[in-house]
Structure 1
Amino acid sequence: MLKKTAFVLPLIALAFGSSSVFAVGEASSVINIKASIPTKQFHVQPRDPNFGRDEVMNYNTVSGELSSLRATYDVKNTEGSIKAYIEGGPASLSNGTDAIALTNTFNGVVLTGSPLEVVDDASSTPGTQADLVIAAAKPADGVSGLFTTNYTIVFDHEPRVTQ
């Protein structure tokens, strides 16, 4: 009996001792890093690197309209102009049942599903800034719910036309 007790007691002490090590816990830190360095010849980047991630269009209960969004972009194409389009066609907000049309204007040009020149050759060669403005149509009366969307604006390098 004494041999069994002498053998079991150290095991119990070992179990309690090792569990107290685990009770202290551990700490960790997840680090995600991105770095986007554009070429010197062509780039179209929002000045705010977080633009487009979690934007909110606030509803004005008096006017019944949604606020617009605005972002300034740095643009450059040393070898021509810049065209842009909305991939898949017009953008809209949806709650699964109803849709609210969105108008995307880049540098004063309303974007569609077809490529349109948004920055001319003379302006894009040295580099410039251009604004993207996103405006929602006025929601229909009685429409409610959480409206969301996800779409892509594509910016294309348009080579300089040589004559």
Structure 2
Amino acid sequence: MFKKFAVAVPMTLLALSSSMAFAAEEIRSSINISANIPTYDFYAQPVNPDFGKDEKMAWNVLTESLAPLRAAYDIRNTLGSVHAYVEGGPQHLNNGHTAIQLTYAFNGVTLTGMPKEVVSDAASNGGMRADLVITAALPGNNQVGFYTANPVVIFDAVPRI
């Protein structure tokens, strides 16, 4: 009898432990990885890789104005200077009825729809960091609601002459 009991207990424990292994839940974690490695000669990219995905201009109750957006960019052109412009001209915040003017500046240079030098040949050769700043005009009393804009800033590598 003791032999039967001595064999039955380990077999029962083995059977229970293997069934517990089949009952365990599985959790998966999907990870999407991307990398943007610029060329050595020319690049202009935000330091924060998430910049531009979902930016919000916060409303300041005290000043009754929208806070500017500011993003640092790493920029380099070993072959000349860098020019920039806003594609189609400066976009405005728009709610379908009214618009609020936006001003774009890169490295202190106000951007328009035409290319302008924003980093000189000498400054861009070794690479540098400069800010893109987008500011909104003061909205009028009747300008309330949800406003959006989708500007595209273009950076051009301009070869030295």
User: TM-score, normalization: structure 1?
Assistant: 0.80
Alignment of 1:100 onto 2:100: yes
Q: Corresponding residue for 1:153?
A: 153
Q: CA deviation at 1:142?
A: 2.0
Q: CA deviation at 1:90?
A: 1.2
Matches within 5 A, 1:39-118: 39-118=39-118
Letter in 2 for 1:93: L
In structure 2, how many angstroms separate the alpha carbons of the residues matched to 1:54 and 1:137?
20
Q: Corresponding residue for 2:132?
A: 132
Letter in 2 for 1:102: L
The answer to whether the 8 A contact 2:90-2:151 is kept is: no
In structure 2, how many angstroms separate the alpha carbons of the residues matched to 1:135 and 1:35?
30
Q: Corresponding residue for 1:7?
A: none
Letter in 1 for 2:131: D
Q: CA deviation at 1:82?
A: 0.2
The answer to whether the 8 A contact 2:86-2:112 is kept is: yes
Alignment of 1:143 onto 2:133: no
Q: CA deviation at 1:25?
A: 8.5
User: TM-score, normalization: structure 2?
Assistant: 0.81
Q: CA deviation at 1:26?
A: 6.9
The answer to whether the 8 A contact 2:70-2:132 is kept is: yes
- 1:78-122 CA-to-partner distances (Å, cap 9, x unmatched) read 000000010111111111111111101000100000000000000
Q: Secondary structure at the match of 1:71?
A: strand
Q: Corresponding residue for 2:33?
A: 33
In structure 1, how many angstroms separate the alpha carbons of the residues matched to 2:114 and 2:32?
35
How many pairs align? 139
Q: CA deviation at 1:61?
A: 2.2
Counting aligned pairs with the same residue, the percent is 52
Q: CA deviation at 1:27?
A: 5.1
- Structure 1 gaps, min length 5: 1-23
- Structure 2 gaps, min length 5: 1-23
Q: CA RMSD in A?
A: 1.6
In structure 2, how many angstroms separate the alpha carbons of the residues matched to 1:94 and 1:26?
47
